[in-house]
Amino acid sequence: MTLLLIRNRQPMTNRTIYEIHQSLVQENIITKQSIRECSTKRGMFEIDYINRKPHYKRILRCRNDNGCPICSYKRDREIFARVSPYVDTLKKYDGDIHLLTFNLRHNPSHTLKDLQEVLHKSVTHFKKTYPYKKYYGTKDRLFSLTQYETSWSQNSGFHYHAHCHIGTTNNVSKEEIESEMKQKWIDVISLHTNDTSMIPNKDYGFDVGVNRDDAWYVERKSLNEKRMEDYFKENHQDLQEIFNNKRRSISKENLEKIVVDYHHSLEDKQPSPTTKKIVNKVISVLKTVYSTCVKRYRVIFQVNKNHHLFQHLQN
């Protein structure tokens, strides 16, 4: 059910991703037939017509990495597995992992598509600027892992942002990097949008985290219960609907209950107009996220083969 997408706070697992896929199919958020049937059938693994019957062991995937939650999850796991040896090598030679976070100012009037366009162009441009090359040039940067994420709330709309983990041998301080990059990030955004309401201030737009343990931002965030609790409070608190020109606040817990009751009521009777309106609002947002976000900018892993530590990995 849709509830799985709202209240999922546990580390992502194979079982969880299959349940999410099933929920998206049940709500008709996934409409393409090949993606709807992904991992629901088994193909012929091997066959010997003389000695044995066919063996049906292989799960058939749609292989649509940009549109299928199962296939995209499998691909991301492969990328994360590739990152591990680079992290180990970097730590062995006293390197460090920095987390760069890129934000835009956002409100309910901003569409997800517009936020995506501005952020993606800005991040791409930012990586070509002098401050970025100064601290994360080919001499110091061993790898980069860029992850684009989307959250949503009724009060602030879509929050599309990017995290970039950089494995570097340049142990410069956080304060020195931010002193040059914060203003540069604002300048870059200004070049890619005429909407001044998207341009953040210095305190909000750009942030650098140093001395990271690894480059597994998404997984670690899921494992940190307090951090995940804060994340859900930020993005799912007070889903509001307007009735009779008055605002009625709906807490996250009540929203979960409404969604569950809605699905149960479908089995016995028609849900109330109020419940149906709220659930349709949630479904509408999920459809927007799926159709315009899942199919686009995802996890990007790049390796700098010119770095002197790359040779140690090859050996």
179 — pLDDT class (breaks 50, 70, 90): very high
Question: Taken in order 127, 159, 75, 211, is the CA torsion positive or negative?
Answer: positive
Q: Domain for residue 242, yes or no? A: no
Q: Domain for residue 149, yes or no? A: yes
Is a pLDDT exceeding 70 seen at residue 227? no
* pLDDT in the model for residue 168: 93
Q: Domain for residue 275, yes or no? A: no
134 — pLDDT class (breaks 50, 70, 90): very high
Q: Domain for residue 280, yes or no? A: no
Angle between the N-to-C axes of helices 14-26 and 69-92, in degrees from 0 to 180, rounded to the nearest 10: 150
Q: Domain for residue 249, yes or no? A: no
Count CB atoms within 10 A of the CB of residue 151.
16
Residues 185-205 have a mean pLDDT of 94
Q: Which domain holds residue 139?
A: 3-236+288-314
Report d(CA 290, CA 268) in Å as an integer.
30
Is a pLDDT exceeding 90 seen at residue 198? yes
Q: Domain for residue 99, yes or no? A: yes
Q: What percent of the chain has pLDDT over 70?
A: 67
Report d(CA 114, CA 151) in Å as an integer.
15
* pLDDT in the model for residue 120: 93
The better pLDDT of the pair 80, 37 is held by 37
Q: Domain for residue 241, yes or no? A: no
Residue of 147, 288, 167, 285 lying closest to 222 (CA atoms): 147
pTM assigned to the model: 0.69
Q: Domain for residue 56, yes or no? A: yes
Task: Please answer whether residues 86 and 167 qualify as being in contact, where contact means their C-beta atoms are separated by less than 8 angstroms.
Answer: yes
Query: What length is written for the chain?
Result: 315
72 — pLDDT class (breaks 50, 70, 90): confident
Residue of 170, 165, 171 lying closest to 82 (CA atoms): 165
Biggest CA–CA distance in the chain, Å, is 75
- Mean pLDDT across the chain, nearest whole number? 76
* pLDDT in the model for residue 64: 85
Into how many domains does the chain fold? 1
Query: How confident is the model over 6-26, as pLDDT tens digits?
Result: 334 345 567 778 887 887 888
Is a pLDDT exceeding 90 seen at residue 98? yes
Residues 56-67 have a mean pLDDT of 80
